[in-house]
Amino acid sequence: MRRQYSSVQAKPAGSSHTGSSHTNAETPPWAEDGYWESLLAEEEYDEKPPLAPLLQEAQPVYDATPAPPEEPDSLAELPPEEHDWRLAEQGMAQNQTYELMVTAYNRGGLLVKLNSLTGFVPSSHLIGLTFVNDNRRLSLGVRVGKPICIRIIELDRGRNRLILSERVTQEEQNPPDVLSQLQPNARCNGTVSNLCHFGAFVDLGGGVEGLIHISELSWGRVGHPAEVLQLGQHIAVFVMDVDKEQRRVGLSLKRLTPDPWTSVQERYQIGQQVQGMVTNVVSFGAFVRLEEGLEGLIHISELAEGSFLHPRNVVQENTTVTARVLSIDPHNRRLALSLRRPQART
């Protein structure tokens, strides 16, 4: 709004007002009331500051075509893929932890599904990943079909890239110095977290997981770790080695007890009659367990007199036999038995 101002200037003391004409030569023009009245009547003034007109002109355009909000009122209004990316972005911003199912794997890590999005968990961000004889694929493959608690650490929609980590969830929830406290030849406790044909994984706490190789489960022969351990079982383990850089911990169950072969000659002598359980029958003979971790072999030539097609024609697994000790070789962990002298079975 614009308007004209017309006001009367206060008359200085000692001056006289005689109209619009100037009659006093000693009084300057700007001191006369009529001078200011005529000047103010010709000038225009704006009530708003200098930027106000610009804002005033832009306002009707904004009102007529308002800019759309950045986020829709409901994520459900978005297309499915856009909806899932938005949820992933929110989850990453809020440090949300997801429990997802492992759907596949490759040499680099595991694949998971976050709604319609495929995420990748690098092997370096997995907890307790131990490679047996450098068999990376086998070690990763056992986790397919199992749940995993992970968090988004990298998101790039342009490259369709969604990277997650299992390690960051454990590092925040558990003390970070558990691994540094583990020392070789020490004893610690843990929980069996996974069983596979090459061994058993044990959760030691603090985001640290160790592996008991199948050869370290017992001093005797083990066909599968499930013969010795159960999932979720709390056990004591012996720490064999610790690789802090690779976060690998080698564990043993059998080393918690003495090796029976170190003192075998103190308990058995050549010619002694012993009893044991047949544990395995093969083409060249039968293995007999005398005690936990100590097995002897009855060679096919020492099974029985005469001829027979197969050792199973003479002995069967899970039966008890009485045999005689023929030889003891603790260095090579070998003990030879015979059923021929004497031949007895129960």
Q: Which residue has the higher pLDDT, 165 or 342?
A: 165
The CA distance from 324 to 313, in Å, is: 20
Task: Give the pLDDT confidence score for residue 135 in this predicted structure.
Answer: 64
Alpha-carbon distance values, 195 to 146, 213, 276 (Å): 12, 10, 29
Q: What angle do CA 307, 309, 313 make, to 5 degrees?
A: 95
pLDDT over 90 percentage in the chain: 47
Q: What angle do CA 64, 68, 70 make, to 5 degrees?
A: 155
pLDDT above 90 for 124: no
- Dihedral sign of CA atoms 171, 175, 180, 181 in order: negative
Task: Give the pLDDT confidence score for residue 232 in this predicted structure.
Answer: 86
The CA distance from 253 to 216, in Å, is: 6
Task: Give the pLDDT confidence score for residue 7 in this predicted structure.
Answer: 38
Task: Give the pLDDT confidence score for residue 29 in this predicted structure.
Answer: 52
What phi, psi does 195 have (nearest 5°)?
A: -125, 130
Task: Give the pLDDT confidence score for residue 253 in this predicted structure.
Answer: 95
Q: Which residue has the higher pLDDT, 6 or 297?
A: 297
C-beta of residue 113 within 8 angstroms of C-beta of residue 101: yes
The CA distance from 212 to 134, in Å, is: 15
Task: Give the pLDDT confidence score for residue 112 in this predicted structure.
Answer: 94
Least confident stretch, 101-115, 118-132, 189-203, 269-283: 118-132
pLDDT in tens, 192-224: 988 888 999 998 887 788 999 999 999 988 889
pLDDT category at 247 given cuts 50, 70, 90 is: confident
Longest dimension (CA), the chain: 161
Highest mean pLDDT among 48-62, 133-147, 278-292, 329-343: 278-292
Q: What fold is seen in the domain 79-172?
A: OB fold (Dihydrolipoamide Acetyltransferase, E2P) (2.40.50)
Domain with CATH 2.40.50.140 in the chain: 79-172, 177-256, 261-345
Q: What fold is seen in the domain 261-345?
A: OB fold (Dihydrolipoamide Acetyltransferase, E2P) (2.40.50)
pLDDT above 70 for 17: no
Q: Which residue has the higher pLDDT, 39 or 182?
A: 182
**177-256 is classed CATH 2.60.120.10:** no
Q: Does the predicted model carry a pTM greater than 0.85?
A: no
**Residues sharing a CB contact under 8 Å with residue 50, sequence separation 6 or more, in sequence order:** none
Q: Which residue has the higher pLDDT, 45 or 279?
A: 279
